Amino acid sequence: MSEPTKFYLFRRNNGIYYIGYFEEGRRRWKSTGCTTKADALSAFSRFREHLRAKPVEKFLSAFISEFLAHAQATCSRGTAELYRLALDDLLTVTGDVPLTSVTPQHADRFKAVRLSKVSPVSVNVALRTLRAAMNTAVRWKLLENNPFKGLRLYISQQMDSCLSSVGVRQCHCVLRVGTTLRESALPECVPVPSGRYTESLTLQHC
């Protein structure tokens, strides 16, 4: 959303002063509720200050661009690629909505859509990746709450067996990046069926 421009004050036949301005190429107006010019000028000043203090809405695509630049500068190449893949998939599912419009419902939809396309293991790693990215958005004060916080990972019967036998942190984690598997230490390990993968993947917090 573009910032309002060309403010002006005018009075209608009813004696009330109005504030006129242009936003996104359209003329808009707002009543001051005042009948005297002095009061209207005070309302005019307050209105402009209010709009100046109001942050411009950031869309998901803009956040992704900024976050990936940050990730590339502060994370390993493999971790930055994880973020890119997961965030691109999220954008495909939600569309380019305002970042503050991304809700837990979008997170649930992302999980369902991706489960229909890729393995549960890849979905779980993507969910952890997005949760980490949105934690950064919260830290940057772009979001009040993380829409991926509290979202349960997908646990199949085989995964549940892995959890009960060796514990979460002893299981391996994996996500395919391009045509290779990158390896490191994932802080919160995603369980996978034993014997299916031989390498693990790291998600570093940026």
Other Cβ atoms within 10 Å of 86 Cβ, number = 26
Joined together, the tokens standing for residue 111 give 């999980």
Query: For the residues of 36-55, what is the DSSP string, one character each?
Result: SHHHHHHHHHHHHHHHHHSP
Helix (H, G, I), strand (E, B) or coil at 137: helix
pTM beyond 0.75, yes or no: no
The CATH class that applies to domain 60-155 reads: mainly alpha
How far is Cα 45 from Cα 198, in angstroms, rounded to an integer? 65
The secondary element (H helix, E strand) that includes residue 180 is: strand 180-181
4 confidence band (pLDDT: 50, 70, 90): low
- Specify the higher pLDDT residue, 53 or 172: 53
Instruction: Using the predicted structure, report yes or no on whether residue 16 has a pLDDT greater than 80.
Output: yes
Calculate the alpha carbon distances from 57 to 52, 54, 98, 168 in Å: 13, 9, 7, 39
Contact between 138 and 166 (Cβ < 8 Å): no
Q: Let me know: does 185 contact 202? Beta carbons within 8 Å.
A: yes
With cut-offs at 50, 70 and 90, classify the pLDDT of residue 54.
Answer: low
Give mean pLDDT, residues 101-112: 95
Task: Please give the Cα distance from 104 to 139 (Å, whole number).
Answer: 18
Comparing 48 with 4, the larger pLDDT belongs to 48
Give, in order, the Cα–Cα distances in Å from 150 to each of 13, 66, 125, 127.
56, 25, 15, 11
The alpha carbon dihedral of 37, 42, 47, 49 has a sign of positive
Domain boundaries, the chain: 5-53, 60-155
